[in-house]
Structure 1
Amino acid sequence: MIPITYSSAVSAARENGAPIVALESTIITHGMPYPQNMETAQRVEQVVRDNGAVPATIAVIDGKLCVGLEETQLAALAQAKDVAKLSRADLAACIAMGGTGATTVAATMIGAALADIKVFATGGIGGVHRGAELTFDISADLQELAQTSVSVVAAGPKAILDIPKTLEVLETLGVPVIAYGQSEIPAFWSRSSGIAAPLQMDTARDIANAHIMREKMGLPGGQLIANPIPAEDEIAASDLAPVIEKALAEAEEQNIAAKSVTPFLLQRIFELTDGKSLTANIALVLNNAKLASKIAVEMAR
């Protein structure tokens, strides 16, 4: 038996067939300092409730896969130190060893699928890092999208990535990439990437129906819904480009690699933008939670 527990709200939603939206926990443990991390997590959960769904923040606590966190658990996780950052490769080991860890996109998708949750809201997905032709640094998120039947709402791939290569890999893996309400792929903090979206859908109902049809056809994997950050919250791609290049150059100079790359880059971009990147990050996560809730509501119908 998998040691899996549900919060009281998620348990009730499962019994009643109510819509549920999965949320990751690395935003709590690795995204920002306390108490801002807890406040942001609470805001995201409230957006889900306000839009008709039940939030299920996923984490591993003391060897149990928790689908939905009670307030006391969320507060404890927000203040915990040295919490593991879990993906597909180390999720099971953490549970087996009785550990505590926060779930990345890939691990959250696995937890959601185990709980039969179809929709997951996050910030941005991982993907193909720049220079991956030399480093082979490609996020496990892409393979997870290809094999786990969860629709992931994100503001596109993180802007620090090689977005064209990320889309190429997703196409090869057979993952539908759907831009919501526009013909371009958004680039995380920016609405525009200059890259045409493979698919465009303008309603939550269409996205929900596409997910359901994939399941009926027996197609493995989920969908990536690329939801642009609200216009009033975006940072223009032209303003970000030199900042990202500077952060990338510093990472290379300091020989930062593997799992350490993304946290380093995001922290340096936060510093170089005087905190604007974090403000935009919070706005896009809230926006993604709103759309994910609407999709979950449509699926529940």
Structure 2
Amino acid sequence: MTLLSYTPEIAEARTRGLPIVALESTIITHGMPWPKNKEMAQQVEADIRAAGAIPATIAVMDSQIHIGLSAAQLDRLAQTPDALKLSRADLAVALATGRTGATTVAATMICAARAGIEVFATGGIGGVHRGAEHSFDISADLQELAQTRVTVVAAGAKAILDLPKTLEVLETLGVPVIAYSQDALPAFWSRDSGLKAPLRMDQPAQIAASHRMRAQLGLPGGQLVANPIPAVDELPASMLAPLIETALREAEAQGISAKGVTPFLLRRIFELTQGASLAANIALVRNNARLAAEIARALA
């Protein structure tokens, strides 16, 4: 059995050298409730097609890495409550044991690179969790960005994280952090984290050229393109800050740790914002997908 399974659309796109944008699947299984998760996934794929590229949602099912999902596979994944949340550490185990798994940023990058896909759109990357100086809770996404050559388009790191420490770790690992069309580093639901981005680019073609130049230099790793949420959709950081603190205290009180932290915090913020965070999340993912498609077209 081959490790990678392509939909006919993706197989043809690879043969013809058409622009392809990878999409993660954890946002489907762990980020949004049914049926909103399926609707969001379909809309994001449609956005990528409308922008001139081919979407490739990635997931592990039936002991294969699926590069692109059929309608039936997407429906099945969106209704799998016990899907594994796969990162670098457990990707091989899920494949070996036949478990259904949704790919995080790190796992999606690994699978995309194996499939020859150079651009990946997501919501927000993982990073250094608050209190990491005690818990050592740091997402594998950061190390993956340092070693796997995929350009990742995100609305920055998730706002629930320690953003200054996340930025510092990315600098230490040599990962280019490029703010798109602004100087400030965005913070997921908010356009401005209060931190200045190390780099800025205003054109998808510039980002594509930088991706190619890293390969020519023999540098490992990818790029993080921090694309701010559209102004009309953002949630002010001043409004979110106390809600995030409340959610963090609740997680600590309930002893939630490791992979359970992010889904818990996102769910609580959804409840505390009365659903506004979900609407913002969908808006930023769609915005990232459109930019990723432009970068993929420039690369193709």
Within 2, Cα distance between the matches of 1:242 and 1:33?
Answer: 24
The 10-residue stretch of structure 1 (288-297 or 242-251) with the greater mean CA deviation from structure 2? 242-251
The match for 1:125 is 125
- TM superposition shift of 1:30: 1.0
Residue type at the aligned position of 2:246: K
User: What pairs with 1:1-301 in structure 2 (closer than 5 Å)?
Assistant: 3-300=3-300
Q: Give SS of 1:89's match.
A: coil
Within 2, Cα distance between the matches of 1:79 and 1:166?
Answer: 32
Residue type at the aligned position of 1:241: A
- TM superposition shift of 1:81: 2.6
The 10-residue stretch of structure 1 (96-105 or 144-153) with the greater mean CA deviation from structure 2? 96-105
- TM superposition shift of 1:249: 0.9
- TM superposition shift of 1:31: 1.3
Aligned residue-pair number: 300
1:127-169 deviations in Å (ceiling 9; x for gaps): 0000000000000000000000000000000000000000000
Within 2, Cα distance between the matches of 1:116 and 1:90?
Answer: 21
Residue type at the aligned position of 1:35: P
- TM superposition shift of 1:76: 1.1
Residue type at the aligned position of 1:217: L
The 10-residue stretch of structure 1 (229-238 or 22-31) with the greater mean CA deviation from structure 2? 22-31
Within 1, Cα distance between the matches of 2:32 and 2:52?
Answer: 27
Within 1, Cα distance between the matches of 2:81 and 2:154?
Answer: 27
Within 2, Cα distance between the matches of 1:133 and 1:80?
Answer: 35
Q: Give SS of 1:30's match.
A: helix
Residue type at the aligned position of 1:82: D
When normalised by structure 2's length, the TM-score is 0.99
Q: Give SS of 2:160's match.
A: coil
Residue type at the aligned position of 1:284: L
Query: How high is the sequence identity, in percent, across the aligned residues?
Result: 68
Residue type at the aligned position of 1:255: G
Within 2, Cα distance between the matches of 1:293 and 1:219?
Answer: 24
Within 1, Cα distance between the matches of 2:9 and 2:120?
Answer: 17
* CA 155–75 in structure 1, closer or farther in 2 if over 3 Å, else same: same
- TM superposition shift of 1:80: 1.8
1:74-106 deviations in Å (ceiling 9; x for gaps): 111111231111000000111111221000000
Within 1, Cα distance between the matches of 2:281 and 2:81?
Answer: 23
1:236-265 deviations in Å (ceiling 9; x for gaps): 000000000111111111111111111111
Within 2, Cα distance between the matches of 1:146 and 1:193?
Answer: 22
Residue type at the aligned position of 1:94: A
Within 1, Cα distance between the matches of 2:160 and 2:27?
Answer: 17
Q: Give SS of 2:85's match.
A: strand
- TM superposition shift of 1:2: 5.1
When normalised by structure 1's length, the TM-score is 0.99
Within 1, Cα distance between the matches of 2:81 and 2:187?
Answer: 31
Q: Give SS of 2:31's match.
A: coil
Structure 2 segments unaligned to the other structure (5+ residues)? none
- TM superposition shift of 1:5: 0.4
Within 1, Cα distance between the matches of 2:35 and 2:273?
Answer: 21
Residue type at the aligned position of 2:277: S
- TM superposition shift of 1:36: 1.0
- TM superposition shift of 1:34: 1.5
